Structure 1
Amino acid sequence: MKANLFIEWLKSREGIYYVLLALLLVVVFPLALDSFRLNMVGKYLTYAFAAMGLVLCWGRSGILSLGQGIFFGLGGYCMAMFLKLEASSPENTAIQSTPGIPDFMDWNQLTALPWFWEPFHSFSFTLIAVLAVPALLAFIIAVAMFKRRVGGVYFAIITQAIAAILTILIIGQQGFTGGVNGITDLRTLMGWDIRTDEAKTLLYFVCVGMLFVCLIVGAWVMRSKLGRILLAMRDQEDRVRFSGYDVASFKIFVFCLAAMFAGVGGAMFTLQVGFMSPSFVGIVPSIEMVILCAVGGRNSLLGAIYGALIVNAAKTFFSESFPELWLYGLGVLFIAVVLAFPDGLAGLYRRYVMPLESKLPAILRRGNAEAQTLPVEEAK
């Protein structure tokens, strides 16, 4: 029974869209791109995790967060701490004053590994921390804000301020975090060299797999009763509250879920790029994530993925050709999206392409009918 339902879903419009995305990411890109460009696409997809979280948080629930870089960075730092400890074995750091600790700690005259680094010797703990640390901070922020009914532009400004504070904190605590340089020189994962082309290709496929897991979870949330409540909460929050629902709890849940998505993206970013720094935590990357969501369509999970691919590809192209103009172009792009097509690429697709798709079967049937009657008319 479930197999039949799955087949029927694959034949539906939504299922076809998922299959096309899977073909693009799993077949087309690996065959068409070399390992360097494929790794760049994998890097672009890591931002799609944060963009999908914003679809749930901003598009579905009306909660605009300008601090998703916080959770992206926390997930990335959790993974980087494990990888750095593995690269800092006593054998690899024998020339340091204190062997067995990361090099930046030795440079800053630390003589022992800080207590909060110790659990990251365990890969299992690291995987849990990638999800739990962003979710815990998101929970603290959400409870403090939503229980007091802080929302709208005030919540956006507060999350932006927290992103700036965390960036300053990471840079200031150089001996514990690597400072402005971040955590670099990451080499192996459980003894497996992640710097080779083969490893980067495999990590790309792992990233795609995790992306589809988050995509399915997000789609389930949007199609469930919870998703309908979130939508009603976005449009008529007071009416939902007067109906007996705890609006603050729903907001807390979706904000924490978006933070977990971003944390997974940050961890995959660290694995594919090989470092993590505070430049991916602050205000600018957080705003870029909002732009990815807006360009793709803030009400579409698939649109968020395509938005991440298109905007980041454009960023790479223009920053290589016109590096001094890219930030201005990014601002113009965001303004154009808000003014010209506020529903993003997904909205344009629904407005102009989907009607043509609906007419296509009738056009094909008409063409087949004309082709079948043509010999009869010629015989007469």
Structure 2
Amino acid sequence: MKPFLDNLVGGKQGAAGLLILAVLLLVVFPLALDAFRLNMLGKYLTYAFVAVGLVLCWGYGGILSLGQGIFFGLGGYCMAMFLKLEASDPESTKIQSTPGIPDFMDWNQITELPLFWQPFHSFGFTLVAVIAVPVLLALIVGLAMFKRRVGDVYFSIVTQAIAAILTILIIGQQGLTGGVNGITDLRTLMGWDIQSNEAKTTLYFVCAVLLLGCILLGRFILSSKLGRLLMAMRDKEERVRFSGYDVASFKVFVFCVAAAFAGIGGALFTLQVGFMSPSFVGIVPSIEMVIFAAVGGRMSLLGAVYGALLVNYGKTVFSESFPELWLYFMGGLFIAVVMYFPNGLAGLWQSHGRRWLARIGQRRQAQVETAPITPTPAAKPETKTAATALETTP
């Protein structure tokens, strides 16, 4: 049991890092931030799901996907469809030409709910679809690419092309998807007002707990034999293939896991902000998601979370202060990280942070060793009583 737990949390250092992150997310931030800032932080955490998946996929598997926004958007749209159907009951839409369907369908003269929308009346089906739909698309793409040994830059280009195609498809089918505006005006979840401060705080904690669960799942995968094979495939793919392993299947698996994480993040994003649009599906958001993982460290699951928080905070500040320059800032940040800090924040901590802590430990030990030793008072000679004298007398 103990080896399993050590592998799950990553030993003492991994457990300490996970504990620090958990305390920050579950204690420090909720106490230090108001409801508005906490909701914004929750939105940042939804991107961290994608970054954690990219650490598995890109950092350890060597699969650079520039289309993770696809899976983020699919998970978000699945949740948005359920919320929109709940908000489109006949009583709330009685002023429409066709009551009981989403407003954007009525505006586009659709008189009947499309067949693929029907299952999203069920919340249980929606929860399954949030993970299953992104995983199914990832499975199709992965089998088509990896079985034919398409990888490296060609795979990245293909994922970018799929992201562009899906964005155009969503915008073009305005009557079915809401078009460029997306699916908006989402207010309740099974009768629960998700726009209130209490609901946003609750959703923040749900997001934080699920994120920690995904990190633990990622560590479990990396600590298993599969994790070692992923690193071996990244460095010497042909050698692993000649050893008899099905490299394509392992790549498909980790790609699907990353897609599942992104889908969960997209669904939580929809709940946090109350809408979903194609602007989160295309090429630009997908590249931004890669930047999150690169800044945090593409070999660190915890670093990916910090990277997502830091970059999104910087994006918010720069977009408010310099609305015309923040895209250049994002591009410059990615170039600087790749050129000067290839291992991101996690690499800086390993190269400087641990060394700094080691120096502090050495100084404390030296102080202890050089501290003057206070002499202890000499013990008084023991006086023998009559009883002890008799016992010691031969």
Structure 1 position 368, deviation (Å): 3.4
CA shift, 1:84, in A, is: 0.4
Aligned length in residues: 375
- Post-superposition Cα deviations, 1:175-195, rounded to whole Å, max 9, x if no partner, equal 000000000000100110000
Separation in structure 1 between the aligned mates of residue 371 and residue 197 of structure 2, nearest angstrom:
52
Aligned to 1:94: 94
CA RMSD of aligned residues (A): 1.8
Equivalent pair of 2:10/2:219 in contact (CA under 8 Å): no
2:345 maps to 1:345:
yes
3-state SS of paired residue (2:373): helix
CA contact (8 A) 1:10 1:16 kept: no
1:45-104, CA deviations, whole angstroms, 9 ceiling, x for partnerless residues? 100100111101110011000000000000000000000001111111111111110000
Larger radius of gyration: 2
Asked whether the 8 Å contact 2:9–2:18 carries over to 1, the reply is no
Q: Which residue of 1 aligns with 2:248?
A: 248
Change (3 A) 1:30 1:372: farther
Task: Find the aligned partners of 2:5 and 2:290 in 1 and give their Cα distance.
Answer: 35
Give 5+ residue unaligned stretches, structure 1: none
How many Å separate the matches in 2 of 1:182 and 1:266? 14
TM-score scaled by length of structure 1: 0.95
Matched residue, 1:75: 75
Alignment correspondent of 1:292: 292
- Look up the match of 2:282: 282
Distance 2:138 2:293 in 1: 19
- CA distance 1:124–1:372, change in 2 (3 Å): farther
**1:246-300 per-position Cα deviation (integer Å, ceiling 9, x unaligned):** 0000000000000000000000000000000000000000000000000000010
- How far 1:222 sits from its partner (Å)? 1.1
Partners of 2:268 and 2:9 in 1: how far apart?
Answer: 29
Which whole-Å CA distance do the structure 2 matches of 1:66 and 1:226 have between them?
23
In the TM superposition, 1:108-257 aligns within 5 A as: 108-257=108-257
Are 1:60 and 1:231, in contact at CA under 8 Å, matched by a contact in 2? yes
SS in 2 for 1:373: coil
CA–CA distance in 2 between the matches of 1:78 and 1:151? Answer: 29
| SS of aligned partner of 1:12 | helix
The alignment's TM-score, normalised by the length of structure 2, stands at 0.92
The superposition leaves residues 325-348 of structure 1 with CA deviations (integer Å, 9 ceiling, x where unpaired) of 100011111110111011111111
Q: Quote the offset at 1:369 in angstroms.
A: 4.0
User: Contact between 2:55 and 2:299, CA under 8 Å: does it hold in 1?
Assistant: yes
Name stretches of at least 5 consecutive residues in structure 2 with no aligned partner.
377-394
Runs of at least 4 residues off by over 2 Å: 1-6, 8-11, 355-376
Q: Residue 261 of structure 2 corresponds to which residue in structure 1?
A: 261
Instruction: Check conservation: 1:146, 1:251, Cα contact below 8 A.
Output: yes
Alignment correspondent of 2:389 = none
Distance 1:214 1:155, change over 3 A: same
Work out the percentage of aligned pairs sharing the same amino acid.
71
For residues 290-337 of structure 1, the C-alpha deviation after alignment (integer angstroms, 9 at most, x for no partner) is 000000000100010000000000000011001111000111111101
Q: Distance in 2 between matches of 1:341 and 1:78?
A: 37
Deviating more after overlay: 367-376 vs 260-269: 367-376
Q: For 1:70 and 1:372, how far apart are their aligned partners in 2? A: 66
Q: Contact (CA 8 Å) 1:131, 1:264: kept in 2 or not?
A: yes
SS of alignment partner, residue 21 of structure 2? helix
Pair 32,98 (structure 1): closer, same or farther in 2 beyond 3 Å? same
Aligned to 1:327: 327
1:44 maps to a residue whose letter is Y
How far apart are the structure 1 equivalents of 2:115 and 2:11? Answer: 53
Residue 373 of structure 1 deviates from its aligned partner by: 3.0
User: How far apart are 1:223 and its partner, in Å?
Assistant: 1.2
